[in-house]
Structure formats: structure tokens, C-alpha cells
Structure 1
Amino acid sequence: MVRLPLPLPAVHGLPDSAESTSELPFHLFPNLKRAYDQLQLPLTEFLQNSDVNWLIYDFAPHCILAACSLAFMGPPAKLIRRDQQHVEDLTVVPEWIPFPSTVAYRLYEVIGIHDCMDPEAPDFFRLAKVIEGCRFVAIRSCAGLEGDSLSLLEKLYQKPVVPMGLLPAKVNDSERAENRDLLSLRQWLDEKIQNFVLYVAIGSEFTLSQDEMNELASGIEKSGLPFIWVVKTKDDPIITGFESRVSGRGLVWANSAPQKQILAHPSIGGFLTHCGWSFVIEGLGLGWVLIIFPGGFFGSRVGGKTP
């Protein structure tokens, strides 16, 4: 593996330190995409002067799309014209889905998607060009979960679609022993009743509004359940007095958390997640009940509704 020495160009409206979507709110995503678009020339020069046998390109490295999501979005010819259609078109099952399905967006979710797109080169257009230009498509999924969608994608794309398997993350025993954060969390979990703690993680790419944070905090508080709630930073706006009112039965954890190890603990009984595909796979792989908190992020809702 070779790290590419390609510094991100400066773009108006993009913070100097921002190089990924996890560092930005939705409305600034287009600025990051414009910065990456400006890497076309230096990347081309690198490829021309390098001995490269394979080029693996991820259209959306900030999220993993399920086969169900891609099938819903349609073939390249449809994707290219998506930005010219009405947003309501994404709220119904598309005509090219031949099997029974309820997968579709709600209107407010579609609006959220369009808010983070670059009008000069919408994500649907970018995805279409990637599909047209590649030799095959590899998807983190399996026939046992998304067989119908995988078969449909090969017909829609007219090229091989390779399911790579779910690739569930394994819990590493050495990480358990060395991770100080995990030791602290494990001590807290060891004191709780088995299969009773709610684990809440919305993902680093998903930013909740103040109203959404308040509603989520209120629901967690009223549930009366013990919980671990992972937030991005201590600056995340949680309703005033929340942490003091839930002190003892709840834990608000800032920054990243050892999620695989937390989910593997016997005290965990449920997982409230934003439908990010990796999160869904980790939760299902460990056998926990998923409480779905789908947002307007590209692919999250339809991925979370995979039959």
C-alpha cells in the first residue's frame, strides 16, 4: 500500500484542517468534493508515472452502501438524470425493482440528501460515472442477506457485481487487555444486569441538530434503561442537565469508543444506531436487537431497511 502525496487544494468555505466528511457538517460536504475534484491533475500525473496494476476507487469512502441502496438508486442512465427529477420520486419504490419491496426515502430525508450535494456534480452523477468506468463492482454484502438486490444490480449495471461477504469485525482479545478506554467501560458494564444496557452510537459521519439531540436525550432518559451513549466530542449539544439526571445509570462517552468490544459485552441488550452499514453488520453479527435511527444521509435509510 502506498500513501499518495497529494495535498488537498484550498477551497473557499472549506476549513484548512478538514480532509474528510467526519470533520464537516452536511452543508459543507460540497466544498470538500470540489477540493477532491481539483486533485484530478496531480492524481493523473501520479498514475502516469507509476507502475499501477490495480486502481480501487471508492465512490463514497465516507460510507458503505448496501446492495439494496444501490439497486434503489438505479442504473447509470437513471442516476445521471436523478438531479433533474422531483425529490418525490425517491419516496416511492422505483419501477426497475421487480421484487416486493418497501424500500424508499421519506420526503424530509430526500431533502437532507440534496442539501449535502454539489449542484455542479451531484452524487448521483458521480456514482453513475464510477459505475460506467469500472470493470466490476465489489460490495460488502452476501447473497444470503441481499440475494435479490445483488442479482438485480448485475442486470442494471451490465457488469459483474461481486459480494465480498459481510466481513464482520472480530473482537481482538489483545485489544481488550491494552485499551484503557475499554477497561474503564468494561468495569462500568460489569456492574450492570446482563442483556439490559442500551448502546447508542449514531456514527462519526452523522451530525444531529440540537432538536434531534434533545429528542434523543429525552427518549433515553424516559426509557429508564442503563445506557452508553457515544457522542463525537464533549461539545455535542446535549439537553441541559441530562448527564446529572442520568448519573449512575447512564454514561455519555465523547470521541471514539471501542465499539466491537462494547457490543460483545454480555451486559449489552440493544443497539440504537443510525443504520450505517458497518454498524448494522457489527450489531447483527453479535446478535443484538437494532433500534433504527435512520437519517437523511446518503444510503443510510434504504440500507437500514434491507429486507
Structure 2
Amino acid sequence: MQPLLSMAENGDVKLNIAMLPWLAFGHLIPYLELAKLMASKGHMISFISTPRNIDRLPKIPQTLTPFITFIKINLPEVENLPKNAESTRDLPANKVKYLKMACDGLRKPMVDFLNNTSLDWIICDFATYWLGPMVAKHGRTSVDDFVKRPNWVSFESEVRPSAFHVTRIMQNLTTDDENVSDTYRLATTIRGCDAVVMRSSFAFEPDWLSLLTELYRKPVITIGLLPTKANDNNDSDDTSWLETKHWLDKREKGSVVYIAFGTETKPSQYELTQLALGLELSGLPFFWVLNDQRGLSDDEVIELPSGFEERTRGQGMVCKSWAPQFKIVSHDSVGVLLIHSGMGSLVDGLQLGKPLVLLPFTFDQGLIASYLVEKKMACMVYREDVDGSFTPESVADSLSLVMVKEDGKMYRERAKEMMSLLGDKNVQDKCLDELMCFLQSSSK
């Protein structure tokens, strides 16, 4: 069997397939026969080899010429490789090793070919060991490939990132001065592990965890959702909390929107402005933990709209320092969380039965938000799919829906239902027991 390198996922469609056989006619001829068979089914074939080899191949039937394109790539010169030697039939056995060295020099023309061709599959041979990593870099040619459900997801689901989130993820995966991408780090780490531990539970997302087990081909062990434990509620030693509590105590039960996007997510200036204007437009009381700068070396400090804090002084509070999130969310006055879909924040909210409004920005936030929306666990602020733009009205409408409107009742009820799962100590203990059992049994 020859290696198959996947470039895209397709259903019952006509495929674009490239073929790169080893430079021996015992390989070239069978590859050509396979190419003819696939072409007879209507698939488009790019048959790649050196000029002299292609010129020496048998002619194909005229009916197949629209489906098979012969791609000639020049073999680089290698010391000790005779001139015009392009296949094993041109060489004595002791010089075939130089042909393999020349074959390795086909990397550059193959990169050029991949950059200018949209493919579904490449069928390659034993000698081109370098083609796999190359294909991995060029395997997806369009944002659209990432936002459609791959065919290896065997169950029905609408969970997927938007085009905007894919674009932002790709921008954040690597930089020009970084020599190892995040995707390579993750893939290599998983490949080298004996098992994968996930912050989740099969009760929370059974289908996706089962799929991961199949894809990784190694144990996937859940450690539960790790709900936050309440502190000892000794308020006297925390001045900032006492001030916050004093502000929250003045608000009606379930009336306040709590906004926070974690320690790593900083909105763009555009996103900050739209969000602030949306909060103001909603008229709802809010407590906003705002991360406007990521460390002192961050010189792109985002700013609230001019006059925003003055206009909303009676409506909300903006905190630009660390805040005790779980204490705040636990307060009776907090009715809704507006978050980025980070696991810590969504667990804090759901374990307390507080409904969620989601505004994902980057990393895995778009996928997590899509899953929560599909399961009716949360509502997502509407953003344009391609550029991620959103309006103050979409923020205000989402908050109003989940906080007070009858149509948003399902989100409030679903949040209450989730309390039993996240607050179930037996589920968390079972996950921990299974992890320890695996570690203990595997260490013998």
C-alpha cells in the first residue's frame, strides 16, 4: 500500500488527486494504471515525475486526457549521478543511492506545486519521506475548510468556529520570529504521551470525548470540570471585596451583569468600544472586570469610550485590577455572566446556576461557545461571520434576552439544570478515582 496524505475532507464528490511515485518504472507504471482507473471515475489526477520519465510512459487513452495532467519537475544535479539519469533503469545498482539524494531535492518544486494547487489527496511513495510534514503545512488552503464539519466527526453537530475565529486563531498560532508553532507543540506533545487528561466529563460532552479517544488512539481521561470551592467567606481581610460587596448589596437580586474575559484575553479597541456602548445601551446594572493592558510591556492600552464611566456611574462599575470572581458571581445580585467562553468562567457561572452570554475572541473560545450554544447552555452575541464585527445593539439584545425576556427563559432554566452536574461531588470524585487508578496501574 502507498501512503495517502490527506489535504482536505470530502464527501461523495469528484476529487483532485496528486500522485508522486518513486523514480523506478516498477513504481511509475502501477501508479499510472491506478491513475487511469481513478480518472475513469471522473476524478482529476496530477501525475508528477521528471520530464524524461513522463516522456517514456505509455500513452493514455484519449478519453482520459481531460482527467490526467502530467506535471514535469526537474531533477536537481547531484554529484556522482550521471547526466540524464532520472530512473533506476538508467543506473547501476550501486548508484541508485544518488538518485534518492536527487529525489530529496524535489522538495522545492513540490512546495511550489502545493502553493498553486488545490488538492484533496496526494498518493506518494516510500522515497519521499519529507512529503508528509510538507503537506501538513499546506493541507488546508481555505478558511472554509476549517468552518465545515469534517467527515471524521461521525455524529450530527453544528459545533464549529466562525471564519472570523479561524482567521484570528491562525494569526495567533505563530509569529515570524517563532520557530515552533503552537499546533506543532500540541500535536507532538499528544503524540508523545501515554494518555491525555481533559478538564471535562463524559456527562458534559460524551460524543466529543469519545471522538478524541478514537483520534488520539490512546486513553482520554477526564478529571471533571473542577468547580471552584467557596472560600471561607471571611470578608474582613479583603478591602477590595468589601467595597465590591457593598456596591452589589445595593442592587436587586439577579439584576447585575458580570463581565470578565479572563487574564489572557484583551479585546481590541473596536471590540471594547462596541461592548461598552452595548452595556450602556442595555441600561442593566453591570460589574466589569476590564483587562486593558497585558503587562507593563504592552504598549497598546485600550480605552473606554470618552465619557463612558461618567455616563454609567450610577449604572455600573469598572474594575481594572484583579477581582475575586467567584465571590462576585456568587452574590445574589448577579444574574447573568458576559464572558469569553473560557472554561474557568463558564464553570463558575454554571455551577452557581447563572445563565451565560458569550462573546468569544480567540483560541478555543469559539468552539467552546459553539458547543454551549448547540446544547442551549448559553446565548452568543451575534458577530458577522467573516470579520467578527458586532454592534452595541447585539450586545444589549443578548443581555436583555437572557436576563429578563420570556424567550430567554430556556437559558435561565438550563443554567439551573447544570448546577446539579457541576455541583455533584460524586461526579468529580469518580473522575479523580479513575485518573488515580490509571496512574497507579500504569506505574507498576
Equivalent residue number for residue 160 of structure 2: 104
Deviation per residue, 1:97-146 (Å, 9 max, x gap): 11111111111211111111226432222211011001111111011111
Deviation at 1:82, TM superposition (A): 6.2
Deviation at 1:211, TM superposition (A): 1.0
Structure 1 vs Structure 2: percent identity of aligned residues? 37
Equivalent residue number for residue 264 of structure 1: 330
- Aligned in 2, Cα 1:175/1:136: closer, same or farther, shift over 3 Å? farther
Q: 2:209 aligns with which of 102, 125, 150?
A: 150
- Aligned in 2, Cα 1:233/1:210: closer, same or farther, shift over 3 Å? closer
Equivalent residue number for residue 178 of structure 1: 237
Q: 1:93 aligns with which of 128, 145, 149?
A: 149
TM-score scaled to structure 2, two decimals?
0.49
Q: 1:248 aligns with which of 288, 306, 314?
A: 314
1:282 matched to 2:348: yes
Aligned-partner residue type, residue 328 of structure 2: I
Aligned-partner residue type, residue 204 of structure 1: T
Equivalent residue number for residue 171 of structure 2: 115
Unaligned runs of 5+ in 1: 1-76
Q: 2:221 aligns with which of 159, 162, 172?
A: 162
Counterpart contact for 1:197–1:228, Cα < 8 Å: yes
The DSSP-based 3-state class of the residue aligned with 1:238 is coil
TM-score scaled to structure 1, two decimals?
0.71
The DSSP-based 3-state class of the residue aligned with 2:346 is helix
Could you tell me how far apart the structure 2 residues matched to 1:199 and 1:149 are? 30
1:232 matched to 2:298: no
Could you tell me how far apart the structure 2 residues matched to 1:155 and 1:209 are? 38
Counterpart contact for 2:268–2:302, Cα < 8 Å: no
1:303 matched to 2:358: no
Equivalent residue number for residue 124 of structure 1: 183
- The size of the alignment, in residue pairs, is 229
The DSSP-based 3-state class of the residue aligned with 1:257 is coil
Could you tell me how far apart the structure 2 residues matched to 1:264 and 1:83 are? 48
Counterpart contact for 2:266–2:292, Cα < 8 Å: no
Could you tell me how far apart the structure 2 residues matched to 1:298 and 1:115 are? 10
- Aligned in 2, Cα 1:175/1:168: closer, same or farther, shift over 3 Å? farther
Could you tell me how far apart the structure 1 residues matched to 2:325 and 2:212 are? 32
The DSSP-based 3-state class of the residue aligned with 2:319 is strand
Deviation at 1:83, TM superposition (A): 5.8
Deviation per residue, 1:135-182 (Å, 9 max, x gap): 111111011111111111111101010010011001202454422211
**Greater C-alpha Rg:** 2
C-alpha RMSD of matched pairs (Å): 1.9
Could you tell me how far apart the structure 2 residues matched to 1:88 and 1:109 are? 12
Counterpart contact for 1:176–1:261, Cα < 8 Å: no
Unaligned runs of 5+ in 2: 1-131, 294-300, 376-444
Aligned-partner residue type, residue 93 of structure 1: R
The DSSP-based 3-state class of the residue aligned with 2:357 is strand
- Aligned in 2, Cα 1:301/1:82: closer, same or farther, shift over 3 Å? farther
